[in-house]
Structure 1
Amino acid sequence: EKTYKLIGADYPGNNPEDVINPGLWWMIGFLFVVSFLGLFSLVPLRKVMILDYKLTYPSGTATAMLINSFHDNSGAELAGNQVKCLGKYLSLSLVWSCFKWFSSGIGDACGFDHFPTLGLTLFKNTFYFDFSPTFIGCGLICPHLVNCSVLLGAIISWGFLWPFISHHAGDWYPSDLGANDFKGLYGYKVFIAIAIILGDGLYNLIKIIVVTSKELCNKSSKQQHLPVSTDISDESETSESLKRDVVFLKDHIPLGFAVSGYVCLAAISTATTPLIFPPLKWYFVLCSYLIAPALAFCNSYGAGLTDMSLPSTYGKIGLFTIASIVGNNGGGVIAGLAACGLMMAIVSTAADLMQDFKTGY
């Protein structure tokens, strides 16, 4: 309400229907009814993503390696060397991060956060090196195909596509907009990136559905679960990986439990969320829950490849879609933000859960 008054009642788009004051109890209630659905959305696909696709999930893999270094069965000497190596590189990373912080520029100025490796001309197009140990560590864990793909995307977008679009400022979009205005260049960046990520994720999701349907329709197979690479006769598999596969497949979560849990929680959320945010009608919530598993898969698939979870990017889909349908005078801002929070909760939780599955595996 204070923000509404500061902006002014006569400001275009500033409507009293879009005012809601923060409250402890309604925020707790909203988080409670939307935060647990992500735990059930991708449970049926955990075998496919961890075993079949063998997604890296760099953070989950690094966490597992850290835990294993303290519980090594091959001997105290090897375990001690692993701990020493861990401590050495941990200390180097900490010291370097402190040095980089002292040597950083103000804002986007040159420094070790924005080091102009390729010159000042390319620096203006964001071609600089960030001496971040986190990014370096993720690059060491991710496969080289993923690293090369990310680099290729950066070169195409920031080297060619965005400069080309920016040269048409004033023709394709108003030239006096801010850097983060969706009506300008930033809108092209966000929606082109969303389209590419969704396209790849939906392709893999459709492929899984088709393969699963073929397996279920195959009369010669009596298995009723998702196709998983469990052939233990492969000579390339080590005994340790085979043991991990057996344990991972044995401790499974029943498909019926996951589906029923998602349906029950979705029904509760569909009934209660409109009570908290009246502009967000129950059918909008229901449609969001029907679409959310597909978006959760796309985000989890991308996080498994690059260690980058993008829930805010997928949340923008719900924000713009619901807000445009509800309209400016019907509480579209509140409805869009609530739908965005709903999408982000499911997508983020699903990616984190799959990351934990990788750590456990």
Structure 2
Amino acid sequence: MSFRVWLRRQSSIPSEFSLPAVACGLLIGCLLCFTNLYFGLQTGFISMMSLQSALIGFLLSKMLPTPMSPQEIVLVQATATATGTMPLAAGFVSILPALGLVNQERDGSPPIHLSWMTGIGWCCAVAFFGVFLSPPIRKQVIIEEELAFPSGTATAQLVSVLHKLPPPNTSLRRRNGYQHIDDQEVGEDEDSREIISPRETTPLRDPEIVSPAGWHELLWSFVASALLTLAAYFFPVIFAIPVFGNYLAREWLWSFTPSLSYVGQGIIMGFPTTLSMNLGMLVGWGVLSPIAKFSGWAPGPVGDMTDGSRGWILWVCLAVMCADSLVSLLPVVWSLVVDVFVGLRHRSSAYVEDKDSSETETAERLVPVRWVIAGFCASVGVGIFLIWLVFGHEGIKPAATFAGYIIGSFLSILAVRALGETDINPVRLTSTINLKGPKLFQVSGLGKISQLFFAWIQPGNIVANLIAGGVVEAGAQQAGDLMQDLKTGHLCGVAPRTLFYGQLIGSVVSIFVTTTAYSLYMRAYPIPGPSFPAPSARVWLSFARLLRDGQLPPQASIFMLVFAAVFGLVAGFKVYAVRKQIWWAKWIPSGVAFAIGFLNTPSFSIARLIGGIIEYIFYVRYARSSGDIRLIVIASGFVLGEGVTSIISLVLRTFGVGVASCWGCGQSGMCGECS
């Protein structure tokens, strides 16, 4: 019996599950994995790129003898995102670099640098338990409550547009904070409806199908970004241009990085988000940094994270992040409390019986409950053992690790609901406007909650605090990602079991890809270091230290309170405006994006603002319709070009091939390669 015949006879494998789709998803996901690790270590920015994965998968399928179906394209993007986001899920851009910054004298523990083998063990410990959290609550949040999951809905829209199919019937209820279905317009068919985003008033209307020219746009943007990145490797000053003068570049870190990938990320993020980020950059680096320096509160070099202005403004950044995340989560928490403690009392038995028959999928297409229970128990049990094996009893106690998995499970439900209602996963900042793609930063609100718990469960242990936060973050992120995929699959008719398989396969492959890539970066570069500062790691470690001893830099507490109060009010106003679907809600500054401007040096923010301006001008003046995706194709090429070239740079660095010239470094002092 051939393998194909055997595969077809397996009733547990849905018909739309195909090896070409999985292979294509893994190929795209591996590229995204390197790209996300590169940018995550550099700036804390990671892109899920589910829309871009679907688009690239569609283009690749055109090269096959039999192009892939819409359902297979959904599987492609689900597998790709599961593979590509492991640097975030397993904490390779935050937790692991933070453990490397631990200090024996200050923290009571030596720095921890995981080898390739121990990195595999850590990855296996956190890579799966979140995957088993989504299937049990899929029916509740997608079918019963009909939560919007805007990113998943937008991906389903894109897939239908690419295959010239009618828009998916979302049937969303009109609820505050949700994307909703507009009234049927005159002349439209019964099933032809539009999704109106509370952040964008122009829905996806006229399909702009990717023609063969889409390949040319993707290719030339990829090549242009790759060549510029390679040139910057040999001449580092290209990415550290002192446009504001040598003094500001050398002493105050004001330089410009003309990276096409940053421009592409700005396009994907959108003008309002990049504007918030640059507003934070101006306040943090143009106002607070000089104040802290000249007042003697941060007497060291500006870029020093210990006693310099960069380390001082980090605390204000942390206050803004926490205030924004807390206020943004309150409506979701309130909704959850109302549903649990009030809504359940008013449900009649007849309604319960109706719920039991509301499932839209047959049993063989669902993920069996026994799989979920067995998989969750196995992932938790094996994870506790592996974490103990990797970090030892002094790192984190097995009982504390078990508590981390339990806390992570409950907080993952909160993350799924927040993502479904607002398109914001508390693990990160993420937002989608039609085809402009998901944006996310390595900023974890739920991770901070877990750190608060473990400051009480295992007090004084910095390592345990970081590890526990990583466990919670992994579960919340994976549960949210899979639920977005399940929403897309629900709209496109893909079996939940198919996407479950894709998530598991992508996670397994990404364990080895991510760990290998991180090990290579560790051998070639100091992490954190000039080239890869890993800013998110500083946030995690600083918060853990604050919970342990409560010591802050001089006068930082006053500024933290003021900025937290201001951005708590701003976040509350933004939540209100979004729920009321006021058109200018998207222009209210985002607190997390504002804080990112503090977290990264100005060189990273300016290029993204350029991308945001390009995005705004294009969609206002030059887009053929609101569904025009030409700019997204170009932006994807920009991002992938630098991400893929980073692999070449890594290989060159590993084999001792260095820069060709350090010209300009003496003037700017900003070239990480030459410092």
1:90 correspondence with 2:212: no
Letter in 1 for 2:486: F
Could you say which residue in structure 1 is the equivalent of 2:383? 269
1:185 correspondence with 2:330: no
SS of match in other structure, 1:38: coil
Q: Report the more deviating stretch, 263-272 or 84-93.
A: 263-272
Could you say which residue in structure 1 is the equivalent of 2:151? 56
Give the total of aligned pairs: 311
CA shift for structure 1 position 260? 7.2
Distance 2:405 2:279 in 1: 34
CA shift for structure 1 position 36? 0.9
TM-score if structure 2 supplies the norm length? Answer: 0.36
> 8 Å contact 2:305–2:312 — kept in the other structure?
yes
| Residues 190-245 of structure 1, C-alpha deviations (whole Å, 9 max, x = no match) | 342244234324532442442355443223474459x9xx9xxxxxxxxxxxxxx9
User: Is the alpha carbon distance of 1:221 and 1:188 closer, same or farther for their aligned partners in structure 2, counting shifts above 3 Å?
Assistant: farther
Could you say which residue in structure 2 is the equivalent of 1:138? 268
Q: Following superposition of structure 1 onto structure 2, how do residues 23-34 of structure 1 map, counting pairs within 5 Å?
A: 26-34=118-126
Q: Following superposition of structure 1 onto structure 2, how do residues 209-228 of structure 1 map, counting pairs within 5 Å?
A: 209-211=337-339, 213-220=341-348, 222-224=350-352
| Residues 12-48 of structure 1, C-alpha deviations (whole Å, 9 max, x = no match) | 3385x54667456554443323221111334455564
Distance 1:40 1:281 in 2: 24
User: Is the alpha carbon distance of 1:167 and 1:23 closer, same or farther for their aligned partners in structure 2, counting shifts above 3 Å?
Assistant: closer
User: Is the alpha carbon distance of 1:355 and 1:14 closer, same or farther for their aligned partners in structure 2, counting shifts above 3 Å?
Assistant: same
Match of 1:174 among 269, 293, 298: 298
1:356 correspondence with 2:485: yes
Distance 1:44 1:304 in 2: 25
Letter in 2 for 1:286: F
User: Is the alpha carbon distance of 1:20 and 1:164 closer, same or farther for their aligned partners in structure 2, counting shifts above 3 Å?
Assistant: closer
Q: Following superposition of structure 1 onto structure 2, how do residues 56-205 of structure 1 map, counting pairs within 5 Å?
A: 56=151, 61=155, 65=158, 69=162, 82-98=210-226, 100-101=228-229, 106=237, 109-110=240-241, 131-132=260-261, 134-135=264-265, 138-139=268-269, 148=272, 150-151=273-274, 153-160=276-283, 163-169=286-292, 173-176=297-300, 179=303, 181=305, 183-205=311-333
| Residues 257-286 of structure 1, C-alpha deviations (whole Å, 9 max, x = no match) | 757754664355346633543121234323
User: Is the alpha carbon distance of 1:301 and 1:337 closer, same or farther for their aligned partners in structure 2, counting shifts above 3 Å?
Assistant: closer
Distance 1:178 1:248 in 2: 61
Distance 1:215 1:89 in 2: 51
SS of match in other structure, 1:40: coil
User: Is the alpha carbon distance of 1:100 and 1:250 closer, same or farther for their aligned partners in structure 2, counting shifts above 3 Å?
Assistant: farther
Distance 2:404 2:286 in 1: 35
Match of 2:393 among 278, 292, 300: 278
Distance 1:135 1:246 in 2: 37
Distance 1:273 1:43 in 2: 25
> 8 Å contact 2:408–2:476 — kept in the other structure?
yes
Distance 2:332 2:107 in 1: 42
SS of match in other structure, 2:105: coil
User: Is the alpha carbon distance of 1:313 and 1:18 closer, same or farther for their aligned partners in structure 2, counting shifts above 3 Å?
Assistant: same
Letter in 1 for 2:479: A
> 8 Å contact 1:216–1:224 — kept in the other structure?
no
Could you say which residue in structure 1 is the equivalent of 2:468? 339
SS of match in other structure, 1:307: coil
- Unpaired runs of at least 5, structure 2: 1-100, 167-206, 417-424, 492-675
Distance 1:110 1:27 in 2: 36
Please report the RMSD computed on the Cα atoms of aligned residues, expressed in angstroms.
5.1
User: Where in structure 1 do 4 or more consecutive aligned residues deviate above 6 Å?
Assistant: 123-129, 247-250, 254-257
CA shift for structure 1 position 289? 2.5
User: Is the alpha carbon distance of 1:80 and 1:161 closer, same or farther for their aligned partners in structure 2, counting shifts above 3 Å?
Assistant: closer
Could you say which residue in structure 2 is the equivalent of 1:237? none
Report percent identity of matched pairs: 18
User: Is the alpha carbon distance of 1:246 and 1:129 closer, same or farther for their aligned partners in structure 2, counting shifts above 3 Å?
Assistant: farther
1:308 correspondence with 2:439: yes
Distance 1:249 1:125 in 2: 59
Distance 2:430 2:455 in 1: 27
> 8 Å contact 2:388–2:397 — kept in the other structure?
yes
> 8 Å contact 1:322–1:335 — kept in the other structure?
yes
Distance 1:314 1:80 in 2: 37
